[in-house]
Structure 1
Amino acid sequence: MPAPTLPAHLGYVVVEGVIGAGKTTMARMLANRAGGRVVLEEFEENPFLDRFYTDRDRWAFQTQLAFLASRFKQQKALATRDLFVPHVVSDYSFDKDRIFAHVTLSGDEVRLYETLYGIMEPAAPVPDLVVYLRSSVDRLLHNVALRGRSYESDMDRGYLAELVEAYDQYFFHYTKSPLLIVDASRIDFVGAPATFDELVRQMASVRGGTAYFNPPDTMQLSF
């Protein structure tokens, strides 16, 4: 039996989640499985990111605007589909930027951000499916530690908890496109091919609204 893949109606799929949820890994795996193109967030090109992690209050606004500009540039390019590429899979949505902004900014800064976001947002393409990898703070910290990025070495638990709450609040009210919420805290879609196959089947079955994938005990890690 051939491995399940993305159906034709899922031309643009977005994988979302908090820092360390496994977005990039899953996006690469999906694009590879579907013979498509992967679009990754260009976080390493943000010149303020290192400084943000050492002093959030001072560098949040500059960091957020740099991300907004970078993501908008990528999203505009995505608006024109390549007829020879059946699927595009991204490891972030344009809406992600706004979630972070409301966690890190306040006052006049968030009001200015909202003005800029409102100008740019209509040009961003709407995904055919969003996959939200929902994870616990403990699992996120575990994953962040494993990948060993220097600027994430002192990742603040409270900051991650804020992000988890903000993401949950956003995606539990999300209606822009079909949405699959995945309980990613206790699954290994990298080391367990059967789990990844089941995730792909679940994605293919979502035609509208919000669906949930809560893996059975046989697919869960003892993390």
Structure 2
Amino acid sequence: MKGMEKNVIVLAGMIGAGKSSYTEMIARELDSTAFYESIQDNRILEMFYADQARWAFALQIYFLNTRFRSIKAALRDQNNVLDRSIYEDALFTQINYEEGNISAPEMDTYLDLLDNMMEELGSLPKKSPDLLIYLRGSLDTVLKRIKQRGRPYEQINENPSLLEYYKRLHARYDSWFESYDKSATLVINIDELDITNSEDAYQVMQQIRTKLKEVHQYE
């Protein structure tokens, strides 16, 4: 089937859902290139967790810029997996706006910039991903995984206000996903599947391969 050898796949889901681990596995199994969101190079992220109102806008602009660069490169190369994409970026910005961390003028500026970026993506040979994979799970599962990976600035015991942020973000993800219309989608239930288990990893890859066959069926 035409196109099966090349795919652009983007991962979506809550902080701690396992997007980077999925990206690594999918890229290895499909012989494609992984794009990871760099935490080490992000000088703003830890400052945001310490003072959200001070750093929210700067952080969202940073993420928007890096995600725009990644999706442009992926759509040009056409054989990639991204652990986070530009398509869900506005959800985080909206939550920060609603929580008062971003002002109305800042939100308007962000949305205008995002619109310009999305228009530019439309000029590329490949306009959008082939597949978005949404890692859906309960808040309990997400919080457990955040605790397990152990980044101090993400822990709710170190910063209790983070729990409300995580709750609000988690509550909005399904509605964001339902509004996403750039590509085909696949939902993976991370409450039931754990890719550190080889049988679960096999099952997940079977789901992904089946979905990609459907995506390319009519090309």
- Indicate the TM-score class for this superposition, using the shorter chain for normalisation: 0.7 to 0.9
SS in 2 for 1:45: coil
Whether 2:64 is the aligned partner of 1:72: answer: no
Specify which of 139, 142, 148 is matched with residue 140 of structure 1: 142
Q: Distance in 1 between matches of 2:104 and 2:191?
A: 34
**TM-score normalised over the length of structure 1:** 0.81
1:96 Cα shift? 2.0
- Where does 1:8-157 land on structure 2 (aligned, <5 Å)? 8=4, 11-81=7-77, 87-105=79-97, 106-124=103-121, 125-153=127-155, 154=158, 156-157=162-163
Q: Percent identity?
A: 31
Q: Distance in 1 between matches of 2:72 and 2:180?
A: 22
Any conservation in 1 of the 2:8–2:75 contact (CA below 8 Å)? no
Unaligned runs of 5+ in 1: 1-6, 209-223
Q: Which stretch shows the higher mean deviation, 47-56 or 117-126? A: 117-126
What letter corresponds to residue 9 of structure 2 in structure 1?
V
Q: Distance in 1 between matches of 2:195 and 2:45?
A: 29
What letter corresponds to residue 160 of structure 1 in structure 2?
Y
1:67 Cα shift? 1.1
Q: Distance in 1 between matches of 2:136 and 2:6?
A: 21
Any conservation in 2 of the 1:42–1:70 contact (CA below 8 Å)? no
SS in 2 for 1:99: helix
CA RMSD of aligned residues (A): 1.8
Task: State the aligned residue count.
Answer: 197
**TM-score normalised over the length of structure 2:** 0.83
Q: Which is helix-richer, 1 or 2?
A: 2
